[in-house]
Amino acid sequence: MRLNRASGVLLHPTSLPSRYGIGELGEQARAFIDFLSESKQQLWQILPLNPPGFGNSPYQAYSAFAGNPLLISIDELAREGLLTEEDISDVPRFTEENIDFTRVREYKNGLFKKAFARFDALPKDQSYHGFVSANFYWLHYYAFFMALKTHFYDMPWNEWEKAVARRWTEVIAYYGHLLAVDIRYHYFLQYKFHGQWMKIKEYANNRGIKIIGDLPIFVSYDSSDTWVHPRLFELDKEGYPAKVAGVPPDYFSETGQLWGNPHYCWDIMAEDDYLWWRERFKKMLECVDYIRVDHFRGFEAYWEVPGDEETAIHGRWVKGPGKPFFALLEKYLGKLPIIAEDLGYITPEVIELRDAFLFPGMKILQFTWQESIDSCSSHKNTVYYTGTHDNDTLLGWYKDVVLAGLRVDPDRIIPEQVCWDYIEAVSQSACRWAVIPLQDILSLDGWARMNHPGTVGSPNWEWRYRKESLTPEIKERLAELTLKHQRYSH
Protein backbone atom coordinates (compact mmCIF):
# COMPACT_ATOMS: atom_id res chain seq x y z
CA MET A 1 0.00 0.00 0.00
CA ARG A 2 1.63 3.22 -1.16
CA LEU A 3 0.37 6.29 0.63
CA ASN A 4 -0.31 9.68 -0.90
CA ARG A 5 0.56 12.73 1.19
CA ALA A 6 -2.36 13.48 3.52
CA SER A 7 -3.29 14.28 7.11
CA GLY A 8 -6.05 13.42 9.53
CA VAL A 9 -7.32 13.28 13.08
CA LEU A 10 -7.49 10.48 15.64
CA LEU A 11 -10.79 10.47 17.52
CA HIS A 12 -12.91 7.57 18.71
CA PRO A 13 -16.67 8.04 18.12
CA THR A 14 -17.38 7.63 21.85
CA SER A 15 -15.60 10.98 22.32
CA LEU A 16 -18.08 12.89 20.17
CA PRO A 17 -20.46 15.36 21.86
CA SER A 18 -23.99 14.17 22.62
CA ARG A 19 -26.69 14.93 25.15
CA TYR A 20 -26.95 11.20 25.84
CA GLY A 21 -23.65 10.90 27.70
CA ILE A 22 -21.56 9.26 24.98
CA GLY A 23 -20.70 9.94 21.34
CA GLU A 24 -23.19 8.64 18.79
CA LEU A 25 -23.49 7.89 15.08
CA GLY A 26 -25.74 10.82 14.31
CA GLU A 27 -25.70 14.58 13.93
CA GLN A 28 -22.46 15.24 15.84
CA ALA A 29 -20.60 12.53 13.92
CA ARG A 30 -21.58 14.28 10.70
CA ALA A 31 -20.59 17.64 12.21
CA PHE A 32 -17.15 16.24 13.04
CA ILE A 33 -16.77 14.97 9.48
CA ASP A 34 -17.70 18.46 8.24
CA PHE A 35 -14.98 19.87 10.50
CA LEU A 36 -12.47 17.45 8.99
CA SER A 37 -13.50 18.34 5.47
CA GLU A 38 -13.41 22.10 6.05
CA SER A 39 -9.97 21.87 7.71
CA LYS A 40 -8.64 19.93 4.69
CA GLN A 41 -8.23 16.62 6.52
CA GLN A 42 -8.64 13.43 4.52
CA LEU A 43 -8.30 10.80 7.25
CA TRP A 44 -10.36 9.94 10.31
CA GLN A 45 -8.75 7.34 12.55
CA ILE A 46 -10.83 5.55 15.18
CA LEU A 47 -10.34 2.88 17.82
CA PRO A 48 -12.03 -0.56 17.61
CA LEU A 49 -15.80 -0.27 17.09
CA ASN A 50 -16.52 -3.51 18.95
CA PRO A 51 -18.69 -3.70 22.10
CA PRO A 52 -16.38 -2.96 25.05
CA GLY A 53 -16.24 -5.48 27.85
CA PHE A 54 -13.95 -5.52 30.88
CA GLY A 55 -12.91 -2.02 31.93
CA ASN A 56 -14.96 -0.50 29.08
CA SER A 57 -11.98 -1.06 26.83
CA PRO A 58 -12.59 -1.40 23.08
CA TYR A 59 -9.54 -3.71 23.13
CA GLN A 60 -11.34 -6.14 25.48
CA ALA A 61 -14.53 -6.61 23.49
CA TYR A 62 -17.36 -9.12 23.73
CA SER A 63 -16.92 -9.81 20.02
CA ALA A 64 -14.29 -9.26 17.34
CA PHE A 65 -17.10 -8.75 14.81
CA ALA A 66 -20.01 -6.93 16.49
CA GLY A 67 -20.42 -3.17 16.82
CA ASN A 68 -20.76 -1.16 20.05
CA PRO A 69 -24.50 -0.59 20.67
CA LEU A 70 -23.79 2.40 22.92
CA LEU A 71 -22.85 4.32 19.75
CA ILE A 72 -26.34 3.93 18.29
CA SER A 73 -27.93 7.35 17.86
CA ILE A 74 -31.03 7.85 19.97
CA ASP A 75 -32.19 10.74 17.79
CA GLU A 76 -31.91 8.57 14.67
CA LEU A 77 -34.11 5.94 16.31
CA ALA A 78 -36.63 8.67 17.12
CA ARG A 79 -36.59 9.88 13.52
CA GLU A 80 -37.44 6.35 12.44
CA GLY A 81 -40.43 6.33 14.77
CA LEU A 82 -38.95 3.68 17.06
CA LEU A 83 -38.80 6.15 19.94
CA THR A 84 -41.30 8.89 20.79
CA GLU A 85 -40.73 12.44 21.95
CA GLU A 86 -42.00 11.36 25.34
CA ASP A 87 -39.40 8.57 25.48
CA ILE A 88 -36.53 11.05 25.16
CA SER A 89 -38.05 14.03 26.97
CA ASP A 90 -36.34 13.36 30.30
CA VAL A 91 -32.65 12.85 29.55
CA PRO A 92 -30.39 12.62 32.63
CA ARG A 93 -27.78 15.32 33.09
CA PHE A 94 -24.60 13.72 31.80
CA THR A 95 -21.21 15.41 32.05
CA GLU A 96 -19.93 16.78 28.76
CA GLU A 97 -16.23 15.96 29.10
CA ASN A 98 -16.29 12.32 30.13
CA ILE A 99 -18.40 9.17 29.97
CA ASP A 100 -20.10 7.58 32.95
CA PHE A 101 -20.39 4.16 31.34
CA THR A 102 -22.62 2.69 34.06
CA ARG A 103 -25.22 5.47 33.85
CA VAL A 104 -25.05 5.69 30.05
CA ARG A 105 -25.47 1.93 29.65
CA GLU A 106 -28.46 1.84 32.02
CA TYR A 107 -30.19 4.79 30.35
CA LYS A 108 -29.59 3.80 26.74
CA ASN A 109 -30.48 0.16 27.27
CA GLY A 110 -33.86 1.29 28.60
CA LEU A 111 -34.47 3.26 25.39
CA PHE A 112 -33.17 0.44 23.21
CA LYS A 113 -35.67 -1.95 24.79
CA LYS A 114 -38.53 0.41 23.92
CA ALA A 115 -37.27 0.83 20.36
CA PHE A 116 -36.87 -2.93 19.97
CA ALA A 117 -40.41 -3.63 21.19
CA ARG A 118 -41.75 -1.45 18.37
CA PHE A 119 -39.32 -2.85 15.82
CA ASP A 120 -40.04 -6.46 16.78
CA ALA A 121 -43.75 -5.97 16.08
CA LEU A 122 -43.09 -4.79 12.51
CA PRO A 123 -42.66 -7.00 9.43
CA LYS A 124 -38.98 -7.26 8.51
CA ASP A 125 -37.85 -5.91 5.15
CA GLN A 126 -35.15 -7.17 2.80
CA SER A 127 -32.58 -4.87 4.38
CA TYR A 128 -32.89 -6.68 7.71
CA HIS A 129 -32.89 -10.15 6.19
CA GLY A 130 -29.91 -9.21 4.01
CA PHE A 131 -27.96 -8.03 7.06
CA VAL A 132 -28.69 -11.24 8.95
CA SER A 133 -27.68 -13.38 5.97
CA ALA A 134 -24.47 -11.43 5.25
CA ASN A 135 -23.35 -11.70 8.89
CA PHE A 136 -24.38 -15.29 9.48
CA TYR A 137 -20.85 -16.37 10.46
CA TRP A 138 -20.86 -14.46 13.75
CA LEU A 139 -24.22 -12.75 14.38
CA HIS A 140 -26.39 -15.49 15.85
CA TYR A 141 -23.90 -16.80 18.36
CA TYR A 142 -22.91 -13.27 19.38
CA ALA A 143 -26.57 -12.44 20.05
CA PHE A 144 -26.98 -15.76 21.87
CA PHE A 145 -23.83 -15.06 23.92
CA MET A 146 -25.07 -11.63 25.00
CA ALA A 147 -28.52 -12.99 25.91
CA LEU A 148 -26.91 -15.74 27.97
CA LYS A 149 -24.53 -13.29 29.61
CA THR A 150 -27.48 -11.25 30.87
CA HIS A 151 -29.30 -14.42 31.96
CA PHE A 152 -26.26 -15.53 33.97
CA TYR A 153 -25.83 -12.16 35.71
CA ASP A 154 -22.92 -10.96 33.53
CA MET A 155 -20.58 -13.72 34.69
CA PRO A 156 -17.80 -14.79 32.28
CA TRP A 157 -19.03 -17.57 29.99
CA ASN A 158 -16.80 -20.24 31.55
CA GLU A 159 -18.59 -19.66 34.87
CA TRP A 160 -22.04 -20.31 33.41
CA GLU A 161 -23.89 -23.59 33.84
CA LYS A 162 -21.40 -26.16 32.56
CA ALA A 163 -23.64 -27.54 29.80
CA VAL A 164 -24.17 -24.02 28.42
CA ALA A 165 -20.49 -23.09 28.64
CA ARG A 166 -19.66 -26.28 26.71
CA ARG A 167 -22.55 -25.66 24.26
CA TRP A 168 -24.21 -29.06 24.63
CA THR A 169 -26.72 -29.35 21.80
CA GLU A 170 -29.90 -30.12 23.76
CA VAL A 171 -29.17 -27.41 26.35
CA ILE A 172 -28.41 -24.81 23.70
CA ALA A 173 -31.71 -25.65 22.02
CA TYR A 174 -33.51 -25.14 25.33
CA TYR A 175 -31.92 -21.75 25.99
CA GLY A 176 -32.39 -20.72 22.36
CA HIS A 177 -36.14 -21.09 22.89
CA LEU A 178 -36.13 -19.57 26.38
CA LEU A 179 -34.13 -16.49 25.33
CA ALA A 180 -35.51 -16.07 21.80
CA VAL A 181 -36.73 -12.51 22.40
CA ASP A 182 -33.43 -11.46 24.00
CA ILE A 183 -31.53 -12.95 21.06
CA ARG A 184 -33.66 -10.97 18.60
CA TYR A 185 -32.97 -7.88 20.69
CA HIS A 186 -29.24 -8.20 20.04
CA TYR A 187 -29.92 -8.83 16.34
CA PHE A 188 -31.80 -5.54 16.38
CA LEU A 189 -28.96 -3.64 18.07
CA GLN A 190 -26.41 -4.92 15.57
CA TYR A 191 -28.69 -4.16 12.64
CA LYS A 192 -29.16 -0.58 13.80
CA PHE A 193 -25.48 -0.10 14.62
CA HIS A 194 -24.47 -1.37 11.19
CA GLY A 195 -26.98 0.80 9.36
CA GLN A 196 -26.01 3.96 11.22
CA TRP A 197 -22.27 3.33 10.90
CA MET A 198 -22.46 2.65 7.17
CA LYS A 199 -24.30 5.95 6.70
CA ILE A 200 -21.55 7.76 8.62
CA LYS A 201 -18.89 6.05 6.53
CA GLU A 202 -20.69 7.00 3.32
CA TYR A 203 -21.02 10.59 4.54
CA ALA A 204 -17.26 10.71 5.20
CA ASN A 205 -16.27 9.05 1.93
CA ASN A 206 -18.50 11.40 -0.05
CA ARG A 207 -16.52 14.30 1.43
CA GLY A 208 -13.16 12.81 0.51
CA ILE A 209 -12.41 11.40 3.96
CA LYS A 210 -11.19 7.84 4.45
CA ILE A 211 -11.65 6.01 7.74
CA ILE A 212 -8.80 4.17 9.43
CA GLY A 213 -10.14 1.40 11.63
CA ASP A 214 -8.32 -0.46 14.38
CA LEU A 215 -8.02 -4.23 14.61
CA PRO A 216 -6.72 -5.59 17.94
CA ILE A 217 -4.60 -8.67 17.37
CA PHE A 218 -6.10 -10.43 20.41
CA VAL A 219 -9.63 -10.94 21.69
CA SER A 220 -11.04 -11.10 25.20
CA TYR A 221 -11.39 -14.53 26.76
CA ASP A 222 -14.89 -13.46 27.87
CA SER A 223 -16.19 -13.08 24.33
CA SER A 224 -18.52 -14.81 21.94
CA ASP A 225 -15.44 -15.74 19.87
CA THR A 226 -13.86 -17.87 22.60
CA TRP A 227 -17.21 -19.32 23.66
CA VAL A 228 -18.09 -20.40 20.11
CA HIS A 229 -14.57 -21.36 18.95
CA PRO A 230 -12.73 -22.58 22.08
CA ARG A 231 -10.46 -24.90 20.09
CA LEU A 232 -8.98 -21.89 18.29
CA PHE A 233 -7.62 -20.47 21.55
CA GLU A 234 -5.14 -21.53 24.25
CA LEU A 235 -7.72 -22.28 26.97
CA ASP A 236 -7.56 -24.68 29.89
CA LYS A 237 -10.26 -27.27 30.59
CA GLU A 238 -12.23 -24.71 32.60
CA GLY A 239 -12.21 -22.19 29.77
CA TYR A 240 -9.65 -19.84 31.30
CA PRO A 241 -6.63 -18.70 29.25
CA ALA A 242 -3.76 -21.17 29.63
CA LYS A 243 -1.31 -18.81 27.92
CA VAL A 244 -1.99 -15.07 27.90
CA ALA A 245 -0.82 -12.12 25.84
CA GLY A 246 1.17 -9.10 26.86
CA VAL A 247 4.51 -7.43 26.32
CA PRO A 248 7.73 -7.55 28.35
CA PRO A 249 8.87 -4.56 30.44
CA ASP A 250 8.81 -1.46 28.26
CA TYR A 251 8.34 2.31 28.10
CA PHE A 252 4.96 2.07 29.80
CA SER A 253 5.63 -0.45 32.59
CA GLU A 254 8.62 -1.89 34.49
CA THR A 255 6.80 -5.22 34.87
CA GLY A 256 5.52 -5.31 31.30
CA GLN A 257 1.91 -5.30 30.30
CA LEU A 258 -0.20 -8.35 31.12
CA TRP A 259 -3.26 -8.07 28.89
CA GLY A 260 -4.79 -11.40 29.84
CA ASN A 261 -6.07 -12.22 26.35
CA PRO A 262 -5.78 -15.88 25.34
CA HIS A 263 -3.27 -16.76 22.66
CA TYR A 264 -4.35 -18.42 19.44
CA CYS A 265 -3.82 -22.03 18.46
CA TRP A 266 -2.27 -21.00 15.17
CA ASP A 267 -1.74 -24.55 13.94
CA ILE A 268 -5.44 -25.32 14.32
CA MET A 269 -6.42 -22.03 12.67
CA ALA A 270 -4.24 -22.92 9.69
CA GLU A 271 -6.29 -26.07 9.04
CA ASP A 272 -9.10 -24.09 7.36
CA ASP A 273 -6.83 -21.38 5.93
CA TYR A 274 -7.54 -19.09 8.91
CA LEU A 275 -11.29 -18.85 8.24
CA TRP A 276 -11.97 -16.94 11.48
CA TRP A 277 -9.35 -14.35 10.54
CA ARG A 278 -10.60 -14.11 6.96
CA GLU A 279 -14.12 -13.42 8.17
CA ARG A 280 -12.80 -10.86 10.64
CA PHE A 281 -10.84 -8.93 8.01
CA LYS A 282 -13.76 -9.19 5.60
CA LYS A 283 -16.06 -7.56 8.17
CA MET A 284 -13.52 -4.85 8.92
CA LEU A 285 -13.03 -4.03 5.24
CA GLU A 286 -16.77 -3.51 4.94
CA CYS A 287 -16.75 -0.94 7.73
CA VAL A 288 -13.51 1.01 7.18
CA ASP A 289 -11.16 2.00 4.37
CA TYR A 290 -7.85 1.18 6.07
CA ILE A 291 -7.00 -1.11 8.97
CA ARG A 292 -4.42 -0.30 11.62
CA VAL A 293 -3.37 -3.71 12.93
CA ASP A 294 -2.62 -3.29 16.61
CA HIS A 295 0.49 -5.08 17.93
CA PHE A 296 1.52 -6.16 14.43
CA ARG A 297 4.77 -7.63 15.75
CA GLY A 298 2.71 -10.43 17.35
CA PHE A 299 2.21 -12.00 13.93
CA GLU A 300 5.98 -12.50 13.69
CA ALA A 301 6.57 -13.40 17.34
CA TYR A 302 4.44 -12.83 20.44
CA TRP A 303 5.10 -12.63 24.17
CA GLU A 304 3.55 -15.68 25.83
CA VAL A 305 2.92 -15.65 29.59
CA PRO A 306 1.56 -18.56 31.67
CA GLY A 307 -2.05 -17.90 32.61
CA ASP A 308 -1.38 -17.95 36.36
CA GLU A 309 1.29 -15.21 36.31
CA GLU A 310 0.54 -11.83 37.92
CA THR A 311 2.91 -9.80 35.73
CA ALA A 312 4.29 -10.12 32.21
CA ILE A 313 7.91 -10.51 33.36
CA HIS A 314 8.07 -14.30 33.19
CA GLY A 315 7.14 -14.78 29.56
CA ARG A 316 8.84 -15.92 26.39
CA TRP A 317 8.87 -15.05 22.71
CA VAL A 318 7.02 -17.55 20.50
CA LYS A 319 7.00 -17.49 16.70
CA GLY A 320 3.77 -16.32 15.10
CA PRO A 321 2.19 -17.35 11.77
CA GLY A 322 4.29 -14.85 9.78
CA LYS A 323 4.33 -14.56 6.00
CA PRO A 324 2.16 -17.62 5.21
CA PHE A 325 -0.68 -16.06 7.21
CA PHE A 326 -0.76 -12.79 5.28
CA ALA A 327 -0.17 -14.59 1.99
CA LEU A 328 -3.30 -16.67 2.58
CA LEU A 329 -5.31 -13.59 3.55
CA GLU A 330 -4.27 -11.90 0.31
CA LYS A 331 -5.10 -15.04 -1.67
CA TYR A 332 -8.70 -14.86 -0.46
CA LEU A 333 -9.21 -11.12 0.06
CA GLY A 334 -6.73 -9.41 -2.26
CA LYS A 335 -4.20 -6.78 -1.25
CA LEU A 336 -4.94 -5.61 2.26
CA PRO A 337 -4.97 -1.87 3.18
CA ILE A 338 -3.11 -2.50 6.42
CA ILE A 339 -1.11 -0.10 8.57
CA ALA A 340 1.27 -2.04 10.81
CA GLU A 341 1.50 -0.84 14.40
CA ASP A 342 5.21 -1.61 14.60
CA LEU A 343 6.03 0.02 17.94
CA GLY A 344 7.89 -1.36 20.93
CA TYR A 345 10.48 -4.11 20.69
CA ILE A 346 10.86 -4.48 16.92
CA THR A 347 13.27 -6.98 15.42
CA PRO A 348 14.62 -7.19 11.86
CA GLU A 349 12.20 -10.09 11.33
CA VAL A 350 9.22 -7.85 12.13
CA ILE A 351 10.45 -5.22 9.69
CA GLU A 352 10.97 -7.88 7.05
CA LEU A 353 7.40 -9.14 7.52
CA ARG A 354 6.00 -5.61 7.31
CA ASP A 355 7.98 -4.72 4.20
CA ALA A 356 7.30 -8.02 2.43
CA PHE A 357 3.67 -6.96 2.06
CA LEU A 358 4.43 -3.23 1.70
CA PHE A 359 2.50 -2.38 4.86
CA PRO A 360 3.15 1.18 6.07
CA GLY A 361 4.50 1.44 9.61
CA MET A 362 4.06 4.01 12.37
CA LYS A 363 6.16 6.68 14.06
CA ILE A 364 5.27 8.48 17.31
CA LEU A 365 6.73 11.93 17.95
CA GLN A 366 6.72 11.39 21.72
CA PHE A 367 9.13 8.49 21.17
CA THR A 368 11.31 10.17 18.53
CA TRP A 369 11.27 13.83 19.56
CA GLN A 370 15.03 13.96 20.11
CA GLU A 371 15.72 12.69 16.60
CA SER A 372 15.83 14.96 13.58
CA ILE A 373 12.77 15.13 11.36
CA ASP A 374 14.76 13.64 8.49
CA SER A 375 15.89 10.74 10.67
CA CYS A 376 12.46 9.71 11.89
CA SER A 377 10.97 10.17 8.43
CA SER A 378 13.53 8.10 6.56
CA HIS A 379 10.87 5.52 5.78
CA LYS A 380 8.47 7.75 3.88
CA ASN A 381 5.71 5.16 3.60
CA THR A 382 4.89 5.80 7.25
CA VAL A 383 2.05 7.21 9.34
CA TYR A 384 3.41 9.80 11.77
CA TYR A 385 1.57 10.67 14.99
CA THR A 386 2.17 13.12 17.79
CA GLY A 387 0.79 10.36 20.04
CA THR A 388 -1.79 7.58 20.12
CA HIS A 389 -4.59 6.59 22.50
CA ASP A 390 -1.95 4.98 24.75
CA ASN A 391 0.16 8.14 25.06
CA ASP A 392 -0.30 11.18 27.22
CA THR A 393 -1.55 14.26 25.42
CA LEU A 394 1.18 16.40 23.83
CA LEU A 395 0.81 19.03 26.53
CA GLY A 396 0.84 16.50 29.37
CA TRP A 397 3.86 14.74 27.87
CA TYR A 398 5.70 18.03 27.32
CA LYS A 399 5.26 19.02 30.93
CA ASP A 400 6.24 15.62 32.34
CA VAL A 401 9.06 14.68 29.96
CA VAL A 402 10.49 17.61 28.04
CA LEU A 403 10.45 20.02 30.99
CA ALA A 404 11.66 17.37 33.43
CA GLY A 405 14.91 18.50 35.01
CA LEU A 406 14.66 21.97 33.49
CA ARG A 407 14.07 25.03 35.62
CA VAL A 408 10.95 25.99 33.73
CA ASP A 409 7.62 26.62 35.41
CA PRO A 410 5.02 24.64 33.38
CA ASP A 411 2.47 27.36 34.16
CA ARG A 412 4.55 29.88 32.17
CA ILE A 413 4.43 28.00 28.87
CA ILE A 414 1.84 28.74 26.20
CA PRO A 415 -0.01 25.45 25.60
CA GLU A 416 -1.18 26.30 22.08
CA GLN A 417 2.32 27.27 20.99
CA VAL A 418 3.85 24.09 22.41
CA CYS A 419 1.28 21.79 20.81
CA TRP A 420 1.13 23.47 17.42
CA ASP A 421 4.92 23.59 17.12
CA TYR A 422 5.02 19.83 17.49
CA ILE A 423 2.02 19.35 15.21
CA GLU A 424 3.82 21.34 12.55
CA ALA A 425 6.94 19.20 12.99
CA VAL A 426 4.86 16.13 12.20
CA SER A 427 3.05 17.84 9.34
CA GLN A 428 6.20 19.07 7.60
CA SER A 429 7.94 15.69 7.83
CA ALA A 430 8.46 13.44 4.82
CA CYS A 431 6.10 10.81 6.25
CA ARG A 432 3.20 10.40 3.85
CA TRP A 433 0.43 10.51 6.45
CA ALA A 434 0.27 12.73 9.52
CA VAL A 435 -2.41 11.88 12.09
CA ILE A 436 -2.98 14.01 15.18
CA PRO A 437 -5.19 13.13 18.18
CA LEU A 438 -7.91 15.74 18.61
CA GLN A 439 -6.73 16.36 22.18
CA ASP A 440 -3.44 17.70 20.78
CA ILE A 441 -5.19 19.91 18.24
CA LEU A 442 -7.22 21.33 21.13
CA SER A 443 -4.01 21.75 23.24
CA LEU A 444 -5.46 19.79 26.16
CA ASP A 445 -3.50 18.71 29.22
CA GLY A 446 -3.06 15.18 30.54
CA TRP A 447 -6.55 15.00 32.07
CA ALA A 448 -7.83 14.44 28.50
CA ARG A 449 -5.68 11.36 27.96
CA MET A 450 -7.62 8.43 26.48
CA ASN A 451 -5.85 5.49 28.13
CA HIS A 452 -3.20 4.67 30.72
CA PRO A 453 -1.64 1.33 29.62
CA GLY A 454 -1.46 -1.26 32.35
CA THR A 455 -4.42 0.18 34.27
CA VAL A 456 -8.12 -0.69 34.23
CA GLY A 457 -11.19 1.46 34.72
CA SER A 458 -11.76 5.18 35.16
CA PRO A 459 -10.58 7.52 33.68
CA ASN A 460 -9.61 5.29 30.73
CA TRP A 461 -11.72 5.58 27.56
CA GLU A 462 -13.91 8.29 29.08
CA TRP A 463 -12.76 11.53 27.44
CA ARG A 464 -15.15 13.58 25.29
CA TYR A 465 -14.86 16.99 23.67
CA ARG A 466 -17.38 19.80 23.83
CA LYS A 467 -18.91 20.72 20.48
CA GLU A 468 -17.96 24.38 20.95
CA SER A 469 -14.29 23.31 21.10
CA LEU A 470 -14.07 23.01 17.30
CA THR A 471 -13.83 26.73 16.72
CA PRO A 472 -13.49 28.48 13.35
CA GLU A 473 -10.00 29.54 14.42
CA ILE A 474 -8.85 25.94 14.97
CA LYS A 475 -10.43 24.86 11.71
CA GLU A 476 -8.67 27.64 9.81
CA ARG A 477 -5.32 26.99 11.51
CA LEU A 478 -5.45 23.28 10.74
CA ALA A 479 -6.40 23.93 7.11
CA GLU A 480 -3.55 26.42 6.67
CA LEU A 481 -1.03 24.00 8.13
CA THR A 482 -2.27 21.19 5.92
CA LEU A 483 -2.05 23.28 2.76
CA LYS A 484 1.32 24.75 3.76
CA HIS A 485 2.90 21.30 3.94
CA GLN A 486 1.12 19.98 0.84
CA ARG A 487 -1.00 17.38 2.62
CA TYR A 488 -4.22 18.06 0.74
CA SER A 489 -5.27 16.95 -2.71
CA HIS A 490 -8.70 17.23 -4.29
Among 222, 234, 294, 300, the active-site one is 294
Q: What is the DSSP letter of 85?
A: T
Q: Is 390 a catalytic residue?
A: yes
Cβ 407 vs Cβ 350: under 8 Å: no
pLDDT at residue 254, rounded to an integer:
84
Cβ 92 vs Cβ 18: under 8 Å: no
Cβ 282 vs Cβ 65: under 8 Å: no
Q: Phi and psi (nearest 5°) for 11?
A: -160, 125
Tell me the C-alpha to C-alpha distance, in Å, between residue 339 and each of 57, 87, 272, 282, 297. Answer: 21, 43, 25, 16, 12
Q: What is the DSSP letter of 370?
A: T
pLDDT at residue 60, rounded to an integer:
94
Q: How far apart (Å, rounded) are the C-alpha atoms in residues 160 and 23?
A: 33
Give the residue among 23, 31, 197 at the shortest CA–CA distance from 98. Answer: 23
> Taking the model in full, what pTM does it have?
0.96
Q: Are strands 257-262 and 433-437 parallel, antiparallel or unpaired?
A: unpaired
Among 214, 234, 341, 342, the active-site one is 341
Q: Is 421 a catalytic residue?
A: no
Sign (positive/negative) of CA torsion 12, 17, 23, 25? negative
Q: Are strands 43-45 and 6-10 parallel, antiparallel or unpaired?
A: parallel
pLDDT at residue 407, rounded to an integer:
67
pLDDT along the chain (490 residues), means of 10: 90 98 98 98 98 95 98 98 96 96 98 98 97 97 98 97 96 98 98 98 98 97 97 94 90 83 97 98 98 97 94 94 98 97 92 96 87 58 95 94 76 89 95 97 97 89 97 98 93
Domain boundaries in the chain?
6-484
Give the residue among 150, 146, 144 at the shortest CA–CA distance from 176. Answer: 144
Residue type, 31: A
Among 214, 390, 440, 462, the active-site one is 390
Query: Which superfamily does CATH assign the domain made up of 6-484 to?
Result: Glycosidases (3.20.20.80)
Q: What is the DSSP letter of 262?
A: E
pLDDT at residue 137, rounded to an integer:
97
